[in-house]
Amino acid sequence: MTVKKGNHAMRAAAAVVALIGASSSVVAYIDAGSGSYIFQLVVGTLVGGAVAVKVFWRRVSAFFVGKLFRSGGHHAAGPR
């Protein structure tokens, strides 16, 4: 029997959902620092993305400018 890639993850997720659904009482506690941690994750992701764009901005802009010039879009007017 061959197992497709990702099939193990689906089975594990289904098992977790089944275990949670089978329990009669679940008591959950969210620590007061959890909100702060989630906020830090979101801000860190946004700042990291901004830094990545800044670092690679020349490559990104050159990619789009190169496509624009090759597609016959705007051409720079040279001296006449």
Spatial separation of the C-alpha atoms in residues 80 and 77, rounded to whole Å: 8
pLDDT, tens digit, 9 for 90 and up, residues 14-28: 887 777 766 666 677
Examine the pLDDT at 50 and tell me if it is beyond 90. yes
What pTM was computed for the model?
0.42
Residue 26 · residue 20 · CB < 8 Å: yes
Under 8 Å between Cβ of 8 and 16:
no
pLDDT at 76: 54
Is 68:74 a contact under the CB 8 Å cutoff? yes
